[in-house]
Structure 1
Amino acid sequence: MNTALFSPFTIKGVTLKNRIVMSPMCMYSSHNEDGHVEDWHFTHYVSRAVGQVGLIMVEATAVQPQGRISAQDLGIWSDEHVAGFHELNKQINAHGAKTAIQLAHAGRKAMVDGDIYAPSALAFNEKMRTPVEMTQEDIQETVAAFVEGAKRSKAAGFDIIELHGAHGYLINEFLSPLTNRREDQYGGSAENRYRFLREIIDGVNAVWDGPLFVRVSANDYHPEGLTAEDYVTYAKWMKEQGVDLVDVSSGAVVPAAIDVFPGYQVAFAETIKAGANIDTGAVGLITSGLQAEEILRNNRADLIFVARELLRDPYWPKTAAKELGVEIEAPKQYDRAW
């Protein structure tokens, strides 16, 4: 049986052996608070490559120290971070998987010492700190930090870069009218709210010639917030700038009650894919091979991002293949049991 899930996917010269992506998930394991890769990261990521995941995406990695979600997050704000990522990529690639890094800035959701920054001085909720509204100089410094992060990602040997524009972090805060109340060229209209991301994409593309993804939160779950239809417009602009794929998640820009069920975000990926004619990734409670196959065969998305299920089962590709009635190549060390 030929399956969509285990068919290769080529994007800008990079070929994934299957459509399974390990979704970026924070590990909070840089215990020295210096942003460096530690032993845990090698165990965690390389084991999923052994498990035959096609693309391993490293967790949200901060381009500035004050852009960390937590003090234990990985970072790429320094040249000193490159060597650890280079070795991690080498080990992942050795097992046939490609690698990606998610470049991130937490914005007003950063939980680190010192000032935190956002497009507007609005706290996420009553328990979190009020951020400092970014000056235009702050904005340009942060754009430059994303570009430097992309340079370091290239030096470290990543195959793909993803920009984290979702889950209420800094890029998402600029995009949404719920969190962006600016009255300058970075606020107001959709075009102005997109300007920050536009400048990051342009800057990254000037130093990076590989595939570029952007993760978005395609629904704010708020009557005055953004919907997937709004993100069709953003995705069209992204495509014009050379973005190759939109990784479609949702929520977390403001506190909201979300009706969660298996595949609850797939329709958003489908809407953006059809409306913007751009490749998309689907994520969110995708736990079975049959479910993933349905998404791909019906052209609802192009890649399947698997998160918590890969925490539970590092060998989920084998589990999915068995469910679909197909055999996939085993790591030679495991052939006797595969």
Structure 2
Amino acid sequence: MPRLASSVIPMATNGSSVRALHTPALSTLPRDMISLADYTPEQIAALVESAADFKDKTKNHGQAFHPDEPLKGKTIGLLFSKRSTRTRVASETSIAYLGGHAMFLGKDDIQLGVNESLRDSAIVISSMVDGLFARVGAHSEITGLAKYSSAPIVNALCDENHPTQILADLLTIWEVFGKRKPEAKTVFDVVRGLNVAWVGDANNIVYEMLSAFPKCGINMNVCTPSKYPIPESVQQMAKSDADKAQSNVSYFTDPVQAVQNADIIVTDTWVSMGQETEKAQRLQDFAGYQVTQQLVDAGKPNKDWIFMHCLPRKPEEVSDEIFYSDRSVVFQEAENRKWTILAAFSALFSKRA
């Protein structure tokens, strides 16, 4: 089996001087994190830098817990309507790191909008906790929670957005490509001009990428089957951000064309939770979309390209040859979920009285 890419890579080579550059932006964050569409590039960079700082202090300097315990005496509610390995482990360990108490509320513990309206649930739960990390179904559920909650909300996933995952992706990209740009001074110096090729479904992961990457100067080639287009509203938002940042967003149905000159190739599940009845049809519709060495050879990405996937992974989406290769940073990316969730919790939950 090919050697795995290391899950522990030194943070981008520029150290604390990079992290300090955007730190003041953390004080201007919106109360809630619904989508990175609501955040400025500087605020996104500040969260990535904060995550890198937490990772560096923990892994390189032995800081097992935050010395100031900013969540001491605070309870964070974890509302999970959908199961997750990385999100649950990352969130519970992050709260412990910050000195707080995690209260896990799974789909069998609480049913948002079923026996009690979502409005009533949000009002009641938020009156007893200091923050909510909610993994839900419909986008309307996360926006409804934010509307009626008296405590800050961080979106752990909904059908349109997944902000903490995309922050983890940005941290991973900064770590990998920062090592190749020793002259870089900022996060933007590292990521600006990189080419990301998305090959897969039109889902919440690519929507969130389009909410964040173009405004940070990252170019995107988005490849989905013709039956699964990116919504026009998402395309318009991405184009507006790309125009301001002088980046590019292009759309394809041919994966070979999409991966040409890519620095990063990304895919995700073709059958999300709740779409199981569509599996047979989707497997037909996504024929030719598996990321394989054959696709890479035909598409000719850039020399030092890497592969990313938010997990869990199914073999039809990417071959073992790619997934377990030196090109793959999927496990580094998975670990970085912890550090970016930790950064989000520290910024949004600890500053609240």
Normalised to the residue count of structure 1, the TM-score between the two structures is 0.29
Q: Which has the higher helix share?
A: 2
Between the two structures, name the one with larger relative contact order (CA 8 Å, sep ≥ 6). 2
Normalised to the residue count of structure 2, the TM-score between the two structures is 0.28
